[in-house]
């Protein structure tokens, strides 16, 4: 079932039930009102009958007046169908009867009730027939009970017409509401159909398209369009980054592979070679294999650093111990590099404890220190690594006195495989800083770089205390 049909049925059902309840309330309220008016009309007729009967009894010696009262009562009774009027004396004997049809006997107990209460209804309206009693007091005749009964034929006809009108109106209203609900549901869902058509035209090869918003609408459809456009922007950036990553990785992998294949092919061209030449070929091949291994490990670490943080195991890590471990491994790579460590002033043993992944944080520290050593190698300067704690952050500052970077290079240092012009002669693949940035982002931290040509480079690793403790 489509959403349009579901909405039309729901709206139509709600309105139909509302109209049905309104029709029932209208009908029963009208029925009760007419019943009350009819009962009041019967009570008024008991007074007319009582006046006529008493006047007739007081003037019964005048035959002309008595006949006139009877003609008046007959004319009065003809105004209501099946109307009857009866008078009971103090002994509960029927002393007067006028009207149409046979009179039903009246219970003595009910007559006594009328005398006690002054009025009572013997037979409430059943099939539009009703019987009422009224106490009428006369000085000569005593307390009389006047009984009047009739059929409310007018209410029968009018209520029947009202029923037909309400049923017909309800059916017509339901039909109109069904069509209206279908049309309004279609209008409400028109933006969604437009979104579906636009989404169908978006493919993985062209993620630059965006959903259009009608007049900058801020309703739910507009918010959905806005969120979907943001999702498309993130997907486009992710796809672009993936393509760039694959292209650059392929280029970087091709270099050592080409050198490796070239050395092996050249070595096979000559049948006989001296041991020195074989040793040189093997050494060159080993260097290319090591370069390829380092590059592969770097790519794997970048992929791992891009994982969902919830999937990366986190434990309590001592940054000071981790820095010492990175320093030890760095000296194995660069035995001649001088690195001075400064741990600031620690308040207690746990002052540098954060929550993170030890292997990834070690890789981030080692990459920053390795870059500083490689760029300071030719100058023979000292690299300083300062670990400090502020009120809101842990900070590791790594400073070198290398050639530095230009402002244009600084804007691209976090792009994977980017290498500044001054760094082309230094061994590397341009993945150290991007890898460190991704690792820090995974831990809620940041990486900052400041550098000027000829003034060296300073790199900060910052961990916010609130997110890592």
* pLDDT tens digits, 235-293: 777 777 666 666 656 655 665 677 777 777 777 776 677 777 777 777 777 777 776 77
CA 329 from centre of chain: 51
Q: Are 19 and 53 members of one domain?
A: yes
Q: Which of 285, 303, 321 is the last residue of a domain?
A: 303
Q: Are 239 and 143 members of one domain?
A: no
Q: Are 19 and 147 members of one domain?
A: yes
Q: Are 326 and 431 members of one domain?
A: yes
Count of the separate structural domains present in the chain: 3
Please give the pLDDT value at position 95: 84
pLDDT winner (highest mean) among 13-27, 33-47, 282-296, 323-337: 13-27
How far is residue 124's CA from residue 132's CA, in Å, rounded to a whole number? 8
pLDDT at 369 over 80: yes
* pLDDT tens digits, 57-75: 776 555 565 566 566 555 5
Q: Tokens 């791992």 — which residue? A: 304
Does residue 215 fall inside a structural domain?
A: no
Please give the pLDDT value at position 244: 64
pLDDT at 367 over 70: yes
Mean pLDDT throughout 389-412?
Answer: 82
How far is residue 65's CA from residue 55's CA, in Å, rounded to a whole number? 9
Q: Are 240 and 133 members of one domain?
A: no
How far is residue 416's CA from residue 9's CA, in Å, rounded to a whole number? 56
Does residue 298 fall inside a structural domain?
A: yes
Q: Are 327 and 363 members of one domain?
A: yes
For residue 328, the domain's CATH number is: 3.30.565.10
* pLDDT tens digits, 405-438: 877 777 777 776 666 655 555 555 567 788 788 8
pTM (predicted TM-score): 0.47
* pLDDT tens digits, 153-199: 888 888 889 889 989 988 888 888 888 888 887 877 777 777 777 77
Please give the pLDDT value at position 469: 47
Q: Are 335 and 261 members of one domain?
A: no
Q: Are 284 and 345 members of one domain?
A: no
* pLDDT tens digits, 94-141: 888 877 666 677 888 888 888 888 888 876 656 788 888 888 888 888
Please give the pLDDT value at position 436: 82
Q: Are 294 and 322 members of one domain?
A: no
């Amino acid at each position: 079932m489509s959403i349009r049909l579901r909405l039309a049925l729901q709206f139509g059902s709600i309105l139909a039930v509302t109209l049905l309840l309104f029709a029932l309330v209208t009908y029963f309220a009208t029925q009760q009102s007419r019943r009350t008016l009819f009962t009041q009309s019967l009570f008024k007729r008991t007074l007319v009958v009582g006046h006529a009967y008493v006047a007739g009894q007081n003037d019964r010696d005048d035959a002309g007046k008595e006949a006139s009262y009877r003609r008046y009562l007959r004319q009065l009774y003809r105004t209501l169908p099946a109307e009857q009027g009866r008078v009971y004396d103090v002994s509960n004997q029927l002393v007067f009867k006028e009207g149409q049809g046979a009179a039903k006997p009246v219970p003595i107990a009910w007559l006594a009730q009328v005398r006690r209460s002054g009025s009572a209804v013997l037979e409430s309206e059943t099939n539009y027939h009703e019987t009422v009693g009224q106490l009428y007091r006369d000085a000569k005749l005593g307390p009389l009970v006047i009984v009047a009964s009739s059929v409310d034929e007018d209410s029968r006809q009018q209520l029947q017409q009202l029923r037909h009108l309400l049923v017909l109106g309800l059916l017509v209203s339901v039909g109109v509401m069904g069509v209206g609900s279908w049309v309004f549901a279609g209008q409400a869902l028109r933006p969604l159909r437009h979104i579906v058509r636009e989404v169908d035209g978006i493919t993985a090869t062209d993620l630059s398209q965006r959903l259009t918003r009608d007049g900058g609408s801020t309703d739910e459809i507009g918010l959905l369009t806005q969120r979907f456009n943001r999702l498309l922007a993130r997907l486009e950036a992710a796809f672009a980054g993936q393509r760039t990553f694959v292209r650059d990785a392929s280029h970087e992998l091709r270099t050592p592979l080409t050198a490796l294949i070239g050395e092996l092919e050249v070595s096979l061209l000559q049948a006989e070679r001296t041991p020195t030449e074989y040793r040189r070929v093997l050494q060159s091949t080993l260097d290319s294999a090591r370069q390829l291994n380092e590059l592969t490990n770097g790519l794997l670490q970048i992929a791992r650093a891009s994982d969902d943080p919830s999937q990366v195991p986190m434990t309590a890590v001592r940054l000071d111990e981790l820095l010492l471990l990175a320093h030890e491994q760095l000296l194995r790579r660069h035995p001649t590099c001088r690195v001075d460590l400064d741990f600031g002033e620690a308040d207690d043993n746990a002052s540098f404890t954060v929550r993170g992944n030890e292997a990834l944080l070690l890789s981030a520290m080692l990459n920053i220190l390795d870059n500083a050593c490689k760029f300071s190698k030719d100058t023979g300067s000292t690299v300083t690594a300062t670990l400090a704690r502020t009120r809101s952050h842990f900070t590791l500052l790594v400073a070198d006195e290398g050639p530095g970077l230009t402002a244009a290079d600084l804007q691209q240092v976090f792009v994977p495989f980017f290498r500044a012009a001054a760094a082309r002669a230094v061994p590397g693949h341009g993945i150290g800083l991007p890898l460190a940035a991704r690792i820090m982002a995974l831990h809620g931290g940041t990486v900052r770089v400041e550098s000027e040509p000829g003034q060296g480079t300073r790199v900060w690793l910052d961990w916010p205390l609130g997110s890592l403790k």
